[in-house]
A and B are shown apart, each in its own frame.
Chain A
C-alpha cells in the first residue's frame, strides 16, 4: 500500500469520526429541560458501557475461560469500589494467571 493511499484512508476516518463528535456539541447549546430526555441522558452511559462490555469481553483474550476469570475479578473488585486502574490491572493479572494455569492443565 502506498503512503498516499494510507494517508487518504486516515483522513477519511478522522474527518467522519470528528464530525460525529463535533456537530452535536456545537449545535446544541441550550440546556434541555425535558425530564425524560434528561433521564435518558443520565442512564445512557450505563447502557452504552453494558452493551459494549458484554459479550465482547469474553472474546478479548485468547480464551473465553480466561476472559470469564478476568471479568469475575473485575466485577468483584469494582463491587468493592476499587479505582478504575486497580480493577483494570487486576483483571489483566487474573487473565494472565488463569492462562498460565490452563497451560499447565492441558
Chain B
C-alpha cells in the first residue's frame, strides 16, 4: 500500500502558520474594503467565498471603480488561473480513490500557501489531511477580514504597513530551506524572481497583467528545471511530518 498522510490533526497543525499569516493579510483587505465604501458583511462575504489574496484585491478595486461584471470575471480568470496549475498538481498529490465530492470540497481551499504545503509533503495526502490543512487558514482569512473591516482603522499606519509584508515572509520561509538542499530549486526560485522583476520593470512587457506574468514565469522556470534537471524515477516514497 502506498504511504499517505490523512490525519485531520496533522493538517490542522500544518495549517496554523498559514492561518496566522492570513489574518494579517486579510486584515489589510478588510480595512481597504471598508475604506473604499463596502459594508462589513460584503468584505467578509468576499473573503469567505473567494479565499484568494491577489484576486480579491483586484476584484475590490474593480467593484469600487464600478467595473462591468464581465471585466470582474475576466480579471479573476487571469489573476487566479495559477490555481488551475496548482489544482493539477494537487490532483497528483492526492492518494488514490478520492471521490468527486471530496475533490470538489478540497478544491475550495486551494490557495498558494495551502497548495505549497500540501505538494511539498513527501508522501501523498488524503481528504481528511486536506480539510485539516484548509480549516485554520479559512478561519484566519475570514476572521482577519472581519477584524480589519470592523476595527482596522484603530491601528496606527505604522502597524498596518508592517503587517503588509507578512504573506511574503511566509513565502520566503517556504522557498528558502529547500533552496539550501537543491541547487535546482534555488535556480528556479532566483530565475522566477528575476523574470517577474522583468515583467515589472522592463518597458513593453510590464503591460502584462501580474496574473499572466506569474503563469509565464512558472512555465518558463519550472519547465526549464524539469527539462534540464528532471527528478529521478523513484520519488516521494517516504512520509515525513516536516
Give me the interface of A with B, judged by CB distance under 8 Å. Answer: 1, 3, 6-14, 16-18, 20-26, 28-29, 31-32, 35-57, 60-63, 66-67, 70-71, 73-75, 77-79, 81-93, 95-96, 99-100
Residues in A with CB closer than 8 Å to B229 are 39
Instruction: Please report the C-alpha to C-alpha distance between residue A93 and residue B226 in the assembled complex, in whole angstroms.
Output: 37
Instruction: Please report the C-alpha to C-alpha distance between residue A23 and residue B104 in the assembled complex, in whole angstroms.
Output: 8
Residues in A with CB closer than 8 Å to B166 are 88-89, 91-92
Is residue B135 contacting chain A, with contact meaning CB distance below 8 A? no
- The answer to whether B77 touches A20, judged by C-beta atoms less than 8 angstroms apart, is yes
Residues in B with CB closer than 8 Å to A10 are 42, 45-46, 49-50
Which residues from 153 to 189 on chain B have a C-beta closer than 8 Å to any C-beta of chain A?
A: 157-159, 161-180, 184-185, 188-189
Q: Besides A88-B17, A91-B165, 9 other CB < 8 A contacts?
A: A12-B69, A22-B107, A23-B84, A42-B231, A47-B222, A48-B192, A50-B196, A85-B16, A99-B158
Interface size classification for chain B: 35 or more
Residues in B with CB closer than 8 Å to A75 are 172, 176
Is residue B92 contacting chain A, with contact meaning CB distance below 8 A? yes
Residues in A with CB closer than 8 Å to B100 are 26
Is residue B76 contacting chain A, with contact meaning CB distance below 8 A? yes
Which residues from 216 to 242 on chain B have a C-beta closer than 8 Å to any C-beta of chain A?
A: 217-218, 221-223, 225-227, 229-231, 233, 235
Among B55, B89, B233, point to the contact of A45 (Cβ < 8 A).
B89
Contacts A10-B45, A24-B88 given; indicate if A45 touches B173 (C-beta within 8 A). Answer: no
Contacts A36-B230, A50-B188 given; indicate if A1 touches B165 (C-beta within 8 A). Answer: no
Question: Nearest chain B CB to A64's CB is how many angstroms away?
Answer: 12
Residues in A with CB closer than 8 Å to B230 are 35-36, 39
- The answer to whether A45 touches B221, judged by C-beta atoms less than 8 angstroms apart, is no
Grouping DSSP codes into helix (H, G, I), strand (E, B) and loop, the B interface class, with mixed when no group exceeds half, is: helix
Give me the interface of B with A, judged by CB distance under 8 Å. Answer: 16-18, 20-21, 24, 37-39, 42, 45-46, 49-52, 54-56, 59, 62-63, 66, 69, 72-73, 76-77, 80-92, 96, 100, 103-104, 106-108, 110, 112, 115-116, 119-120, 157-159, 161-180, 184-185, 188-193, 195-197, 200-201, 210, 213-214, 217-218, 221-223, 225-227, 229-231, 233, 235
Closest 4 CB pairs of A and B: A50-B192, A84-B17, A78-B176, A91-B169
Among B50, B80, B175, point to the contact of A53 (Cβ < 8 A).
B175
- The answer to whether B200 touches A44, judged by C-beta atoms less than 8 angstroms apart, is no
